[in-house]
Structure 1
Amino acid sequence: MANRSRQSWQGSTYFLPCDNEESHRLTLQHEFVTQTLSGSLLVLPESFVSGLDSEDVKVLDVGTGNAVWLSDFHSTISSTAQLVGVDIENRMYPAMYPPQMSFEVGSVLEFPPSWSNNFNLVHQRLLLAGLKMSEWPIAISEDFRVLKSGGYLQLVEVDLRNMGVGPNSARLLKILTELFSLNNMDLNQADRLPSLVRNAGFADVQVLRKEWRLHGESNKLPRENAVRGHRGLKGPVVKCGLLSSDAEFDDMMARVETEWESIPGDPLTICVITGRKP
């Protein structure tokens, strides 16, 4: 089995590792997501975003990982707004960070009671591999609870349905679909998020879909991120019996990488869902 460090939060099914290699991948991921969103960290009304540069503002980054989004956001503001990162593991948290930044270990399924009505902005990105279908409504309700009235939620997730451009990448997509299904998760969860956000009580719900490309020689950054991310799933895939061994997984991924580089494919989608707490 692949020797990668993984989260130990009781009850969590999060598939991806928590180690230095994954931290590097998260930085690549942040770069390509930000590029896809035309360099924007937030897709929210300008009048709201400009108001975040204030001393009494609090921002929560859910599933913060190595805090790359939070650190980038910090560099865009000049105030002493309080920035809080939360994750089920602290192994990737930065060793040094500004005094207005802090980190907690915890789950989006149960934020502390004291956080109610406490944050102006909640940012949550790419938890597709971390939440069961039954947990998504709970998570979004918790996001709603901790926001102040007038505060915004921004969710970012990906749609991977156009990932398979050859027999090996089609096989990988089938395996991922089975892995998610076995764990009561949905690889296409992004489709359900707008209605879940509305059902949680958010107003002014907006959905932005931005295309990004994985395939072809010119798309090296997103492809490198995707290859690293999928290689990190080796342990769960083999453990669930979807492939017989690490070697079989490695062979498939080598062939997948060749297909992604050499075969043109359709664009994939990043979905940004935003909503305001009345």
Structure 2
Amino acid sequence: GLPPVSGTIPITYNLHESLPAAWTGYFATAMQNLIALLPLNTTNFSTLTVYSWNDNITEPYNNVSGGAYIGGSSQTDKWMVLEIPNAEFEHNHLHQYSVIAHEYFHLHQLSVNSSMSTQAFSIKWLMEGAAAAFESVYTDQYYTPSDQTYFDAQTSVNFLVDGDPAVLESYSSSDVDQNYSSSVFLVLALVKELMKAGYSEADAFKRVLTTFPTQNPTDSNWKSVFESQFGFSVDDFYNVVKTSSDYRQLPVTAGVDVNKVRPNRSLTVQSIFD
């Protein structure tokens, strides 16, 4: 059934009857898995309310806009909103499941980083890239056929990013970040840089996904937190992404190479967070 609590946070569910019964079953299982993996032990917020419905009806809940996002009526009350496109049910698209992991990971981020909870930290590629990378590892582990990878949904890395990865620090960069593909690319490249420094793949992911936000970076100090956590500066990292054949097609001016940053297909979320 639906877990009534995650860590210290009680959960109220509003799952609309417009949702297929099979999906609500998947949702309950996903929440059980995610809560076991990343319990929300936090004082940054105190309650969680889930609102979910099929987009083939008008928005059923007062004052709750459609889409997929974490919102809330106040700092203490968080909402997890999952309006699922009916087309994803009709075509059995994996996004109907992966979006659960993506939005839950944002709750994890909010639970460990009070600056993000108050929007004092808003560096997009480190927030959305991390959530989308987690979403892909989780989806590959639980749903994707073993000869495929959900990271294939994130291959449209925009080559404008080749010029200056710093554009991905801002949420105004959505035109060069379809499906957060470019943000994911930077997160995966950061993982590879940490692996070069001696971390295992799982430990490198944990350092990016959890250890870094736990240091409570803000928009004003995140670059110094980044350097103290990872051992190199943001500018040096961007420069490697712009110039190194570790991340680029040859010649390096031909753009980044997504295949060079893909995680091991056998990576599990448990290995990252245990």
Q: Is TM (by shorter chain) over 0.5?
A: no
Larger helix proportion, structure 1 or 2? 2
| Higher RCO (CA < 8 A, seq sep 6+) | 1
Larger strand proportion, structure 1 or 2? 1
TM-score scaled by length of structure 1: 0.28
TM-score scaled by length of structure 2: 0.29
